[in-house]
Amino acid sequence: MADRVLVIGGGGREHALAWKLAQSPHIKQVLVAPGNAGTANNGKISNSAISISNHAALIQFCKDNEIKLVVVGPEVPLAAGIVDDLTGAGVRCFGPTAKAAQLESSKSFSKAFLDRHGIPTARWKAFTNPKEACSFITSTDFPALVVKASGLAAGKGVIVATNKEGACKAVHEIMQDKTFGAAGETVVVEELLVGEEVSCLCFTDGVTVAPMPPAQDHKRLMDGDQGPNTGGMGAYCPAPQISKDLLLKIRDSILQKAVDGMKEEGVPYIGVLYAGLMLTNDGPKVLEFNCRFGDPECQVILPLLKSDLYEVIQATIKRELSSSMPVWSEDSAAMTVVMACEGYPGNYAKGLEITGFSEAKELGLEVFHAGTAIKDGKVVTNGGRVLTVTAIKKDLMSALEEANKGVAAIRFKGAIYRKDIGYRAIAFLSNSRGLTYKNSGVDIAAGNTLVQKIKPLAAATTRPGCNAELGGFAGLFDLKAAGYKDPILVSGTDGVGTKLKAPSFRHTKSIIMALTTLCHNFFSLQQWG
């Protein structure tokens, strides 16, 4: 008999969770509350209007509808104790309890926990008094430039200042102007860490840790990591910057240590644990823990899960993860680009028509909806982050190319999106590819010796019209000398993979362009070398 499950939330992450759960043969229906236009009547998936904040009503709904599992997407219901209440009433619910979710819902709890268990993180101090926070910022001997509202602030409660004055201003904004409301009653002032950020998530049943492939989010609004922090503007997985060895180190020194620490403190952590890490020169350090899948990381991690998500979650809840470890694809990669409304992460308009879904589908892309709704039979915008366009391909470069094509196909007025998602992976892959002459099989010294030896022989073959010297990058041959009217042949004569196949051009400009391309390719290779 097939089961019915309920996913809580309405973002791109929840659409991806519903999409993956719907692939399970054990499942006959996936309800999503409140869901979005992408989860409304989409095969096995449909939306439910049940309130997610009234836990008593939710429990009754689950019992009436024989819901076998509730999967919670966002942090707010977890922090509000949805797992405690539903589990207590006999409804199976996936995620940490409210107490365990403090790893995300209270930054001051989380930082103190990290220190108690010797898990690497930025130096810090928590304050409830703005004056004390500012005097700490000005007097401490490390760059205390990161100011965080301790409570939940939808991923926006962190200010990374460029100087001490800016950090003090941030303290006043959070504590006195109450930019993030009650979440900012306590602030955490933290050392500025430098490095590349990655998201390392795992499933855990409170004892065993099953790492997911590492992903990288792009938190800033604009290309080149400029502009304000957002919930995330795009992601890819796996992040090649994290080698297998480094992932094992992260599993042992961060994820497993955190799970063991929670168990030791009598608050077993069951669910998905997300470590936001900075890869510093002193090794990976924790920027934050989240108690759930990341959004948009979920949209690139789940497509790589070969196992049945429903089975993995059930094993996790039953504390049998060690005998049912999830299996991940080794030969595919996923890339997702978030499309947002003009004005996001500030104010934005709603109700703008979105088109291009069928074109994106024809390209083989998955469009996970986030802030979308259906109005008069049309799909319209209904939130800041509107949707994510996901490409799943054999490697990152092809995924990147495909996701960008999909973004061009989807249209709504004022759509904003980053055009450089994955740029750090591209840089990493180009650097680590080791594109040198030597390892592409070319011995330059031996080549030069050969050139010197055969130069006189080659010179003996020259004829009128020929303008080439052995050892140069290209040769020209003026066909007039052979009785033709105008054309000149240009041919690459040097460089690894920079040959031109006997092209002929009428105009000098074209000849120069051809030579420039040849020389450019040659110098690019030299730079990589």
* DSSP string of 194-236, one letter each residue: -SEEEEEEEEESSS-EEEPPPBEE--EEETTTEEEE-S-SEEE
d(CA 4, CA 257): 35
Q: Which is nearer to ligand AMP, 85 or 197 (CB)?
A: 197
Q: Tell me if 295 contacts ligand AMP by CB under 6 A.
A: no
Among 197, 217, 308, 402, binds ligand GLY (CB under 6 A): 217
How many residues touch ligand AMP (CB under 6 A)?
16
Residue type, 412: F
Say which entry of ligand GLY, ligand AMP, none residue 295 contacts (CB below 5 to 8 A, set by partner kind): ligand GLY
Q: Tell me if 219 contacts ligand AMP by CB under 6 A.
A: yes
Per-residue binding string, ligand AMP, 244-283, x by CB under 6 A, is: --------------------------------x-------
**φ, ψ (nearest 5 deg) of residue 266:** 80, 20
* DSSP string of 448-480, one letter each residue: HHHHHHHHHHHHTT--TTEE--TTSSEEEEEGG
**Residues between 114 and 143 that touch ligand AMP (CB under 6 A):** 122
Smallest distance, ligand AMP to C-beta of residue 516, A: 40
Q: Which residues pair with 124 in a beta bridge?
A: 190
In sequence order, the 6+-apart residues with CB closer than 8 A to the CB of 232 are 155, 217, 218, 219, 294, 295, 296, 297, 338, 385
Smallest distance, ligand AMP to C-beta of residue 158, A: 4
Tell me which residue of 372, 373, 353, 366 sits closest to 406, measured CA to CA: 366
- Cα dist from 347 to 340, 341, 417, 427, whole Å: 12, 9, 16, 34
Tell me which residue of 273, 317, 232 sits closest to 110, measured CA to CA: 273
> Where do the H-state alpha helices sit in 89-143?
102-105, 107-116, 130-139
Stretches 22-30, 164-172, 191-199, 489-497: which one binds ligand AMP (CB under 6 A)? Answer: 191-199
Smallest distance, ligand AMP to C-beta of residue 427, A: 18
Say which entry of ligand AMP, ligand GLY, none residue 491 contacts (CB below 5 to 8 A, set by partner kind): none
d(CA 117, CA 517): 57
Under 8 Å between Cβ of 340 and 233: yes
Stretches 152-160, 171-179, 327-335, 395-403: which one binds ligand AMP (CB under 6 A)? Answer: 152-160
Say which entry of ligand AMP, ligand GLY, none residue 294 contacts (CB below 5 to 8 A, set by partner kind): ligand GLY
Under 8 Å between Cβ of 487 and 506: yes
Among 48, 290, 316, 382, binds ligand GLY (CB under 6 A): 290
Say which entry of ligand GLY, ligand AMP, none residue 232 contacts (CB below 5 to 8 A, set by partner kind): ligand GLY
Among 134, 158, 315, 335, binds ligand AMP (CB under 6 A): 158
Q: Tell me if 155 contacts ligand GLY by CB under 6 A.
A: yes
Among 14, 75, 85, 190, binds ligand AMP (CB under 6 A): 190
Among 75, 84, 197, 308, binds ligand AMP (CB under 6 A): 197
Smallest distance, ligand AMP to C-beta of residue 146, A: 4
Say which entry of ligand AMP, ligand GLY, none residue 158 contacts (CB below 5 to 8 A, set by partner kind): ligand AMP
Q: Which is nearer to ligand GLY, 143 or 234 (CB)?
A: 234
Among 297, 308, 366, 402, binds ligand GLY (CB under 6 A): 297
**Residues between 227 and 286 that touch ligand GLY (CB under 6 A):** 231-232
Tell me which residue of 17, 26, 24, 25 sits closest to 70, measured CA to CA: 17
Residue type, 528: W
**φ, ψ (nearest 5 deg) of residue 56:** -65, -45
* DSSP string of 378-398, one letter each residue: EEEE-SSEEEEEEEEESSHHH
Stretches 55-63, 189-197, 264-272, 432-440: which one binds ligand AMP (CB under 6 A)? Answer: 189-197
Q: Tell me if 75 contacts ligand AMP by CB under 6 A.
A: no
What are the DSSP E strand ranges found in 144-294? 146-149, 158-160, 187-190, 196-204, 209-211, 216-217, 220-222, 226-229, 234-237, 271-280, 283-290
Stretches 79-87, 93-101, 288-296, 302-310: which one binds ligand GLY (CB under 6 A)? Answer: 288-296
Q: Tell me if 387 contacts ligand AMP by CB under 6 A.
A: no
Quickly tell me which residue has 């010796």 as its tokens.
449
Q: Tell me if 295 contacts ligand GLY by CB under 6 A.
A: yes
Tell me which residue of 190, 188, 215, 222 sits closest to 200, measured CA to CA: 215
Q: Which is nearer to ligand AMP, 123 or 263 (CB)?
A: 123
- Cα dist from 184 to 181, 188, 228, whole Å: 6, 9, 18
Q: Which residues pair with 290 in a beta bridge?
A: 274
Q: Which is nearer to ligand AMP, 160 or 222 (CB)?
A: 160
Say which entry of ligand AMP, ligand GLY, none residue 297 contacts (CB below 5 to 8 A, set by partner kind): ligand GLY
Sign of CA pseudo-dihedral 24, 29, 33, 37: positive
Among 79, 287, 380, 386, binds ligand AMP (CB under 6 A): 287
Q: Tell me if 294 contacts ligand GLY by CB under 6 A.
A: yes
Binding residues for ligand AMP, rule: CB under 6 A, are: 122, 146, 148, 155, 158, 160, 190-193, 197, 219, 229, 276, 287-288
Binding residues for ligand GLY, rule: CB under 6 A, are: 155, 217, 231-232, 290, 294-295, 297
